[in-house]
Structure 1
Amino acid sequence: MKIYTRTGDEGQTGLFGGQRVAKDALRVHAYGTADECNAAVGLARAAGVDAELDALLAQVQNQLFVVGADLATPGESSHIPRVTAEETRVLEEAIDTLEATLEPLKQFILPGGTVAAAQLHLARTVCRRAERWAVSLAQEEPLNNEVLGYLNRLSDFLFVAARVANARAGSPDVPWVSPRQAT
């Protein structure tokens, strides 16, 4: 199979089901940003996290393919998996388990610490952007609402995962210092 098809050279792309849309359509922004989030999670994993966190992040990457397929498939289709409440529940359990190992937050923190933690914070912000695109899409077209809940919870998970990556590496979170208090 060739990697290029030339079918997108005029600024259109195909959705699952065959429909052609502009490459800047809301649906394409939504699933494309979910793909960016997946790449950012992969970068964090490549930076090195412990085996337990790596396994959780691998699950997230696999689930993000489901999110992307769900977002790329308008209407009903029995040929692709859809995001369900179960995936969101799994994230919530992981958040609760990981958070129990952390010191409670007493102030805002900056994205930083270890390279892996900083990259997880980046993945979190990309996830929030995917969520914003999905919200915009849902206002224009029918969308599986479970995707919105999943993306919302995923960004929470990535925040906690970044804190865990720092803690397990012995690197403290980077506290935010208000510029007004710094003087």
Structure 2
Amino acid sequence: MKPAVIAGVACLLVAGCWLAWRGDAAGLPLRADAGQGAAQAGDGAARGAQWPPATPEPVARELKFVPLTPVDSSASAWLSMAAARENGDPRTPPIERDAEPRSAPTPAQLADPQAYQQYEQAQHTRLLGAYVAAAATELPRLQADLERGRQAGIPAGQLAKLEEKIARIQRQSAEIVKEHPQMQGYVTRR
């Protein structure tokens, strides 16, 4: 068969299917006038059963607008991205490095499982000591913040969160010192 004949047959099939579909759809009322046409025609029960029940409109939620930081739109966006890539974002906080660098295990410690376990225990003890030392320095600051909040009239719910945070830090620090008495030096060192 020639391509023109095949295309013509395909067009006739598509047209026939469309006409058959339109013939079925012509008997159905439009969605907007489904209720009105059914009441006038007298066969409302038959047609109304075909349509799903109306869904209620969703409750409109109040939009909350969040203020955005001002953006300098005088330069192109790609220039801003390139400058941030090269120079960093001035709004980001500075990166803090550890005061004493972390020591890597020696090849001898890596070769001996017992020596490596001692190395890991020393690292864990260092971590616990850092927590206890940080708690000792931060707790007075947090308590001062709590007192300032009380004086400023901050809601009790927010103050309760800070009180709970202080209590958790104190409990954790006390638990570490109880389990590892050598950590007591970190509490008094500050």
Task: Give the TM-score taking structure 2 as reference length.
Answer: 0.25
Higher strand content, 1 or 2: 1
Task: Give the TM-score taking structure 1 as reference length.
Answer: 0.25
Q: Which has the larger radius of gyration?
A: 2
